[in-house]
Amino acid sequence: MAEIKYTHLEAVLETYGREVADRYKSELDMAKANATYNLKNSVQPLVEVHSDRVTLFLQLQEYWKYLEYGTRKAAGHPEGKRPPFRPFLEWVKDKPVIPWSEKLRTMPLNKAQEAMAAMIRWKVWKEGTKPLHLLENALGDQSALLEECREAISLDLEDYAREIINEVTG
């Protein structure tokens, strides 16, 4: 028996995923939220097709949510968690951050970088950051997408019906 294939729907979602990824990268640029370009370089749309669903994902570095929602509950972050340490450490290593205290200057460079990253992370957590809603902006108006998905599903159903008829009459 023939199995429905969502080729038209998959194509619509792949196109939309690429558009969202491109808009999100532009949003990151406009917000000057590209300190290391790690987040921008990680943006990748992915469509998964299963027998009962088709899903569009956007693969991103884990810290996207801290830009999107801000930090601390007061700033709108739903979980109120501290931002991850690694992006701050990468930022300190990528940027020419100079140890500002005598104690930091006498430490080995890697330890001084870790200490500076920890201090910056703590300050961001303590003072919070405002949510930027860059991904939300990149999603745009989805009413056109819904209509395209309806049309694609109709085409996929037509293809499936043709395949069934061909099997029966074949």
- pLDDT for 160 equals 94
DSSP track, 115-130: HHHHHHHHHHHHH-B-
- Write down the residue that tokens 């601390």 correspond to: 72
pLDDT band of 70, cuts 50, 70, 90: confident
- pLDDT for 62 equals 82
Rounded to the nearest 5°, which phi and psi values hold at 50?
-120, 170
**Widest CA span in the chain:** 85
Please tell me which residue, 156 or 38, carries the higher pLDDT value.
Answer: 156
For the chain, the residue count is: 170
Mean pLDDT on 36-43? 88
Q: Is the pLDDT of residue 78 over 80?
A: no
Q: 41 near 62, Cβ under 8 Å?
A: no
